[in-house]
Chain A
Amino acid sequence: MHLPLDAPAPGGSLTVRCRLLAQYEEIVGQGEVTLELPRPSTVLDAVRFLRARVPNGSLLPERPLVAVNLAHALHATLLNDGDELALLPPIAGG
């Protein structure tokens, strides 16, 4: 699923691959979504964009655990074009 911007952004745009893991994949019905975001965008901007546009998006947490490029990240982290963002349910290994 590709989620484009509703209108061209004055500062340009960036594209992020967003992974949805475990129960979040079940909620949305897809494990991966491509987001087109205005530049600059933070992780939290991407989460808000996603929640507003995917099926059952409102069931995803407003401030989930997140990773960027395979490392835990903060909501204020600025995203770059080509980044892989992941929404992680509460960790449950072991």
Chain B
Amino acid sequence: MPILTPDALDPVALLAEVAALGLGGTALFVGSVRRSAEDGPVAAIEYTAYDAMVDAEAGRILAESALRWPETRVALRHRVGRVEAGQASVVAVAASPHRAEAFAACRYVIEEVKKRLPVWKKEIYENGSAEWRANDGSRAAAATPAPRAP
């Protein structure tokens, strides 16, 4: 299953993907587009990605997780394209026999995604302006605002 999708994320579908009778503890992480006093009047985020490398790098992250927690099943999806404020942009789920491994694997995968997955976000503000935003908090002006979805 490709990691990237232009469609709305469905955490329940991902929970079903990892479910198994012997896996009694499941951790779910949902990351959403944030609008706050600190972030400013963000209307949406436009996500772009290096598609082929996303699948390759995510494969490495999931393989590392499987080596550390071999009894844990993990699923991951990330949005591309325009995601409105409040909507989910990334979902990671991990199902293990016990909760400690589920929490650890889910945390590991999302932290590595934030550091390594070649995905970029352009914040689109209510006034139509846009800025590239990195996970270290830095911003850079965008050359052209992304077009609004019809």
Contacts of A21 in B (CB 8 A): 48, 50, 118, 120
Q: Are A92 and B134 in contact (CB under 8 A)?
A: yes
Q: Are A22 and B52 in contact (CB under 8 A)?
A: no
Tell me the complex Cα distance, A88–B144, Å.
19
Looking at B9-17, B18-26, B98-106, B108-116, the stretch in contact with chain A turns out to be B108-116
Looking at A3-11, A37-45, A67-75, the stretch in contact with chain B turns out to be A67-75
Q: Are A86 and B89 in contact (CB under 8 A)?
A: no
Contacts of B134 in A (CB 8 A): 89-92
How many residues from B make CB contacts under 8 Å with A?
34
Q: Are A71 and B120 in contact (CB under 8 A)?
A: no
Is B135 engaged at the interface, CB distance under 8 Å to the other chain? Answer: yes
Is B107 engaged at the interface, CB distance under 8 Å to the other chain? Answer: no
Is A12 engaged at the interface, CB distance under 8 Å to the other chain? Answer: no
Is B69 engaged at the interface, CB distance under 8 Å to the other chain? Answer: no
Residues of B within 8 A of A (CB): 31, 47-50, 52-53, 56-57, 60, 78, 89-90, 110, 113-122, 132-136, 138, 140, 142-144
Contacts A70-B57, A71-B57 given: A91-B140 contact, CB under 8 Å? no
The residue in chain B whose Cβ has the minimal distance to the Cβ of A21 is: B50
Contacts of A94 in B (CB 8 A): 31, 78, 89-90, 110, 113-114, 117, 119, 135
How many residues from A make CB contacts under 8 Å with B?
18
Is A58 engaged at the interface, CB distance under 8 Å to the other chain? Answer: no
Q: Are A26 and B144 in contact (CB under 8 A)?
A: yes
Contacts A70-B56, A92-B132, A94-B135 given: A86-B50 contact, CB under 8 Å? yes
